[in-house]
């Protein structure tokens, strides 16, 4: 039997994306939908690791939890670790409003992926640099995907097919680092 791991998330789309990525590395993953512990911290790695530890206490099996954020240079890294909350409160339009008239649209997405098992705790990080589009474009993906254009691309994540995004995304990079370890 191959390697197995649980992906713990309350976001089904995020879980399915992670599952697809891991399948590409021959890792069998099950998405376990449950609310994760939301620690208040400026550090994604700490948020992910504490949430993974809490989930392990419940599930008692090898699992991963990821926490991702959109870091906008002109906004001093905001929303960063608060991306999910900011998305719920002001959404894509709110971020675009904050950037009105701003020439510097540099940003990056970062994922901190925490793996916890009985014997091991490790955090893997993936980053993809890019810029914030002037307007939302595309209907795929989730969260801030319609306004994020990765480096070397003219399309937003939301304009890409899932397999294209899975090759270059921050989440893909973190899961790839995990898969090489696992």
* Count of domains forming the chain: 1
Q: For 96-117, write each residue's pLDDT tens digit.
A: 999 999 999 999 999 999 999 9
**Pairing of β 4-9 and β 28-33:** parallel
Q: Alpha helix (H) ranges present in 60-123?
A: 83-89, 91-98
CATH code of 8's domain: 3.90.950.10
Residue ranges of the chain with pLDDT lower than 50?
A: 1
Look at phi and psi of residue 104 and say left if phi exceeds 0, alpha if psi is from -120 to 50, else beta.
beta
Confidence at residue 63, expressed as pLDDT on a 0 to 100 scale: 97
Confidence at residue 47, expressed as pLDDT on a 0 to 100 scale: 95
Q: For 21-51, write each residue's pLDDT tens digit.
A: 999 899 999 999 998 887 888 899 999 999 9
Classify residue 100 by burial, with Cβ atoms within 10 Å: 0-12, 13-18, 19+. Answer: exposed
**Tokens standing for residue 81:** 């670790």
Confidence at residue 1, expressed as pLDDT on a 0 to 100 scale: 43
Greatest Cα-to-Cα distance within the chain, rounded to the nearest angstrom: 55
- Residue 127 lies in domain: 4-181
Rounded to two decimals, the pTM is 0.91
Q: Choose, from 67, 145, 154, 166, the residue flagged as catalytic.
A: 67
Residues 7 and 20 sit within 8 Å (Cβ to Cβ): no
**Does the annotation mark 66 as catalytic?**
no
């Amino acid at each position: 039997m191959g390697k197995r791991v649980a992906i713990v998330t309350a976001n089904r789309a995020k879980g399915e994306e992670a599952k697809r990525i891991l399948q590409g590395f021959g890792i069998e993953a099950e998405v376990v939908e449950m609310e994760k512990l939301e620690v208040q911290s400026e550090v994604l790695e700490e948020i992910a690791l504490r949430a993974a530890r809490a989930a392990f206490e419940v599930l008692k099996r090898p699992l991963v939890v990821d926490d991702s954020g959109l870091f906008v240079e002109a906004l001093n890294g905001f929303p960063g670790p608060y991306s999910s909350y900011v998305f719920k409160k002001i959404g894509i339009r709110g971020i675009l409003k904050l950037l009105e008239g701003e020439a510097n649209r540099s940003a990056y997405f970062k994922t901190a992926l925490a793996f916890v098992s009985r014997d091991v705790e490790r955090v893997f990080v993936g980053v993809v640099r890019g810029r914030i589009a002037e307007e939302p474009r595309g209907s795929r993906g989730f969260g801030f995907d319609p306004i994020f254009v990765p480096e070397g691309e003219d399309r937003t994540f939301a304009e890409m097919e899932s397999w294209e995004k899975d090759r270059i995304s921050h989440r893909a990079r973190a899961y790839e680092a995990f898969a090489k370890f696992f």
